[in-house]
Structure 1
Amino acid sequence: MRNFLKLRGNRTFEYKPRYYKGEGSPFKIEHKLDKYRSTATSNRGLKNKFSSAFDDLKTEGDRNLKIRFLIILAVLVLLFLYIIDFDLSIFFKP
């Protein structure tokens, strides 16, 4: 009865990656783009986080990427409207 109430502990293993030859710890989780992002720094306070996020929005991005995104978005919206059989004639009354 005494062993029934006692919970087993978790097993521990000593894992060493076989083929990892990179820098630093292979177990450290870090996003690849964090070093380029200004909002990933340790900004304390809500106001500082919002101001740094707005500063990132003000920077100009790639124009071709924006145009490609808008074209893909328009095609997907039109495809969705075609699938649900939306009638566009309600906007164009002769």
Structure 2
Amino acid sequence: MKVNFFKLNKNRKFNYTPRFFKGKDDVAPSFESKFSVYRESYNTNDIGKHWADQRYKMRNRKNRGINLTLILIILFLILIFLYIIDFDINIFFTN
């Protein structure tokens, strides 16, 4: 028997729900094929698929603007850095 110690086990997903489970009411079967029903839709109790869909929606948001909170945090950290190195801001002002 050949054993490979460096090969990782393949992750397998098994999402079983009984045929007459109440969570499958929203899945409307069509008469195309036996497997096409499960290709595009998923169960209401499939939390992993819901989580993946929400992550995909958050990644592809239409709002691509920079968050104001992020700008304020970066500005605050820059000011702290300039204070630590004792930066003199008077060189930018002419008196």
Taking structure 1 as the reference length, the TM-score comes to 0.38
* Greater relative CO, 1 or 2 (CA 8 Å, sep 6+): 2
Per residue, is there more helix in 1 or in 2? 1
